[in-house]
Amino acid sequence: MNELHGTLGLGDNSLCIEWRLYDLFESPKGELESLIFDVNKLVSANFRKGLFGGTLRLVFTSSSVISRIPLPTGQLNEMRCIIRRKHRREAELWTAELNLRIAENL
């Protein structure tokens, strides 16, 4: 039972994902890793509010873009991020900005 905690950052025309794996007792299980890629490798970004937080769903052009990230099984080209309640407003604004950049690259 592992959990993946991380951050998402938006650059000029790039997206940076940083993460670290934690075990059941919330002790770090590995080094801090990062992945930087162009925004044009994204198909869509959706944020959905929930009662206690929200879910950010990123869909990529191919699964090789995020193959280094240890995600659970399921969709190969999709990443779901759980956003805490205190960060919901920021996540909505961030998703809107990301969608504008995706639209500019079409």
pLDDT digits (tens, 9 = 90+) for 12-27: 889 999 999 998 888 8
Rounded to the nearest 5°, which phi and psi values hold at 4? -115, 120
Rounded to two decimals, what is the model's pTM? 0.86
pLDDT tens string 45-103: 999 998 888 999 999 998 888 888 887 766 788 999 999 999 999 999 999 999 999 89
C-alpha atoms less than 13 angstroms from C-alpha of 83 in its C-beta half-sphere: 25
Contacts of 93 (CB under 8 A, 6+ apart): none
